[in-house]
Homo-oligomer: A and B are copies of this chain.
Amino acid sequence: MQKEVTIYDIAKQLQLSPATVSRALNDHPAINSNTKTIITSKALEMGYRSNMFASNLRRQRTNTIGVIVPRLDSAFMSTVLAGMEKVVNESNYNLIISQSLESIKKEVTNAKTMFDSRVDGLLVSLSSDTENLDHFNAFFRKGIPLILFDRVVQQKNCTNIVIDNLKAGYDATIHLIEQGCKRIMHVSGSLKRNVYADRLKGYRLALLEHGLPGGDELERSTNLTRQDGLDIAAYIKRMPTPPDGLFVSSDFCAVSCMGALKQSGFSIPNDIAVVGFNNDPVSLVIDPTLTTIHYPGQEMGEIAAQSLINHLNGLLRLSATNTILLNYDLIVRGSSQRVKLA
């Protein structure tokens, strides 16, 4: 365990003061550029690495950003985190990542851990259980910025980064209507979460505009698990008049439901046309491939992290009512395509 090189060691070797070395290493404008060159090359030669802890202690900030997500095991979240890592590394920040596993209890614990780690800022996507942001009050009180992404809640002090889920739900439903569906069912997740509540609203709006039937019988709120997909298929089978269109707020659940529907003798897309959400790789594995809504995870991660860092560096004032909307695409595949192209 060799001894660490400090700025004092560099200073001694170069007959300079530690203050000058510190400034040079931080690219302070007042330092002679020649001196800078000498110092940085000496630092490199001696294998110097800055002691973050001393620096953080002195500066009273940590250069660390906390991330809390519901789960890590989706392709979407993985690309979001890749985007965040990219930005954060370039900006000399660090990332602490934790998952709430869709439980408010774990989210509260995670928030506490993040607080005790004194993160400079927080990037959060809410668990399906979460009712409010009370567990982040300690952050608000200290003025630590919080950015919500994807699963958000409107609140002053919080920037939100989302897609227009209402419009996306509307578009998905309109697509089914265009394929000739007259009786469209929607399977959503926890309606506490904007992503599911808004998609449901979009679905309702589209039905309303086209005078199509809706209501309780055609709206199911679930946890979007595999089992929920099977249950929905069983439910559909029992219906006196089954739907001819199905919009599910998650690809994984949609795929499991499709499997069960096929086994029950439904033909897809002709008996029931199906649209999912998220463009998960699983959407390409099923036969027919699943129509879905795609939105850019990498970009969402980059924008969230960059906004937070800009705010921390004073380059951007996160205003109270700031919402950043990203684009999405409807990707039409076999599960919904009845109208053949010319």
Contact = CB atoms under 8 A, between A and B. Distances in A.
A281 to B, nearest CB: 6
Contacts of A263: 287
B72 A85 contact: no
Interface in A95-131: 95-99, 101, 109, 113, 115-118
Contact of A49 (B57, B73, B116): B116
Nearest to A58: B53
A255 B280 CA distance: 14
Which residue among A75, A97, A226, A285 has the maximum number of chain B CB atoms within 10 Å of its CB?
A: A285
Interface string A74-88: 110111011001000
Given A98-B85, A281-B252, A142 B74 contact: no
Interface core residue of A101, A141, A263, A286 (most chain B CB under 10 Å):
A286
Contacts of A282: 282, 285
Q: Is the interface of A mostly helix, strand, loop or mixed?
A: helix
B281 A259 contact: no
Given A1-B142, A78-B71, A285-B286, A97 B97 contact: yes
B113 A99 contact: no
A56 interface: yes
A157 interface: no
A213 interface: no
Q: Is the interface on chain A under 10, 10 to 19, 20 to 34, or 35 or more residues?
A: 35 or more
A149 to B, nearest CB: 16
A67 to B, nearest CB: 9
B99 A81 contact: yes
A310 interface: no
A236 interface: no
A118 to B, nearest CB: 7
A45 to B, nearest CB: 16
Interface of A: 1-2, 49-54, 56-57, 62, 71-75, 77-79, 81-82, 85, 89, 94-99, 101, 109, 113, 115-118, 141-143, 226, 252, 255-256, 259, 262-263, 281-282, 284-287
Given A51-B57, A72-B78, 16 more contacts: A2-B141, A49-B116, A50-B116, A52-B53, A53-B57, A71-B78, A72-B77, A72-B81, A73-B75, A73-B78, A73-B79, A89-B113, A95-B98, A96-B96, A252-B285, A255-B285
